[in-house]
Amino acid sequence: MKKTGMIAPGATIGMLGGGQLGRMAALAAANLGYKVHVLTPEIDSPAGQVCAVTTIADYTDPAALDAFAAAVDVVTYEFENVPVEAAERLAETVPVRPGAEALRVAQDRLREKEFAANLGIGTAPFRAVGAADELAAAIAAIGAPAVLKTRRMGYDGKGQVKIAADTDPAQAWAAIGGKPAILEGFVTFDMEVSVIVARGTDGKSLCYPPVENRHVNHILDTTIAPAAISPALAAEAEEIARKMAEALDLVGLLAVELFVTRDGRVLMNEIAPRPHNSGHWTMDACVTSQFEQMIRAVCGLPLGSVARHGDAEMKNLIGDQAHDWAAILADPAAKLHLYGKAEARPGRKMGHVNRIIRKG
């Protein structure tokens, strides 16, 4: 019998994925009286370190999935590359929030662009690319500069290559491993922003304000909350997030990354149906953090206030930057969050620091 209805405190939340987003969601769940059971192939995962139960298994292991479903009251996930088939199998027994459709769209860059376009939401110009000759035709249609991205997987700049006017299509195609891809035209933008929208089981939604995201080497470095954009542009960005969440019938969180162009447009770039790096500032600057909001949404509880205590800045700690923890803690205004990862590798997100830069 499939479990339905409000999931009351004391129940067990199933978490697919053992990364830092799962860790912070599990800590928020514990504050609300829930236990978290994480399923991950990773030993000593950041989430596993703080969860009540950890199952070490592959996401495609049917026996592990069935046992996991029987042991939890609702399932969510902390990264969007969970196999859709796993979510569908779990959903036969237990609510999975967000559902498999959100995964299906977010896992494929072409599908998410087409999804946005079908809703009348602006994006960069794009073309599907399945072979080197198709890439040449796509470049001719879109022009250069552009960027070639694998449709699936790849993040923080991985799985993509820039296309210039003199780029050899065959070499570019080989550089991404000859995988199904999407060519996106370059967008001249003033700012990259993101909006996180929470949507409950009752269909009600709340948005955190748009924030500005600044990247270094294709990895998010700093988030500034709120973004310095006009109220009209902020409202448009929030409406895009709400529209996409509603069209997906999403329950949980949806992060929407956007470009604010120099001519005043807001264009959707990518979505993620989970907590997002650009929402970490909410942990110390909002009445309800993105992680608590996620737990409230997937358990069918009323959503919490998104009011903020002030303007804030989040700084990622990448690689060896996490070794500066003593100096960070010496600053009484800094709120340090470390993820429990044993090895600080270049490009690896090890933690973050939040600061309220102006009181509300």
Q: For residue range 245-304, what is the model confidence (pLDDT) as tens digits?
A: 999 999 999 999 999 999 999 999 999 999 999 999 999 999 999 999 999 999 999 999
Q: What is the pLDDT of residue 189?
A: 92
- For residue 160, say whether it is annotated as part of any ligand binding site: yes
- For residue 192, say whether it is annotated as part of any ligand binding site: yes
- Tell me the pLDDT tens digit for each residue of 204-231: 999 999 999 999 988 999 999 999 999 9
- For residue 58, say whether it is annotated as part of any ligand binding site: no
Mean residue pLDDT across the chain: 94
- For residue 269, say whether it is annotated as part of any ligand binding site: yes
- For residue 213, say whether it is annotated as part of any ligand binding site: no
Say if residue 72's pLDDT is above 50: yes
Q: What is the pLDDT of residue 3?
A: 46
- Tell me the pLDDT tens digit for each residue of 94-106: 999 999 999 999 9
With respect to CATH, is domain 189-358 assigned 3.30.470.20? yes
| Average pLDDT of span 143-161 | 80
- For residue 246, say whether it is annotated as part of any ligand binding site: no
Q: What is the pLDDT of residue 1?
A: 35
- For residue 236, say whether it is annotated as part of any ligand binding site: no
> In angstroms, rounded to a whole number, what is the distance separating the alpha carbons of residues 161 and 146?
9
The ranges assigned to domains in the chain are: 12-96, 125-185, 189-358
- For residue 155, say whether it is annotated as part of any ligand binding site: yes
> In angstroms, rounded to a whole number, what is the distance separating the alpha carbons of residues 211 and 167?
34
Q: Predicted confidence band at 44 (pLDDT cuts at 50, 70, 90)?
A: very high
- For residue 111, say whether it is annotated as part of any ligand binding site: no
Residue-by-residue DSSP string for 157-176: TTTEEEE-TT--HHHHHHHT
Top-level class of domain 12-96: alpha beta
Beta-carbon contacts of 160 under 8 Å, excluding residues fewer than 6 positions away, are: 147, 148, 149, 150, 154, 176
- For residue 178, say whether it is annotated as part of any ligand binding site: no
- Tell me which architecture the domain covering 125-185 has in CATH: 2-Layer Sandwich (3.30)
User: Distance of CA 274 to CAs 45, 131, 197, 339, Å?
Assistant: 18, 32, 10, 17
Q: What is the pLDDT of residue 156?
A: 55
Exposed, middle or buried: residue 283 (CB in 10 Å: 0-12, 13-18, 19+)?
A: buried
Q: What is the pLDDT of residue 321?
A: 97
- For residue 186, say whether it is annotated as part of any ligand binding site: yes
Say if residue 310's pLDDT is above 60: yes
Q: What is the pLDDT of residue 107?
A: 94
Q: What is the pLDDT of residue 360?
A: 72
- For residue 10, say whether it is annotated as part of any ligand binding site: no
Cis peptide leading into residue 98 (ω within 30°) = yes
- For residue 187, say whether it is annotated as part of any ligand binding site: yes
Which amino acid does the sequence have at 166?
Answer: D
- For residue 118, say whether it is annotated as part of any ligand binding site: no
Q: What is the pLDDT of residue 155?
A: 60
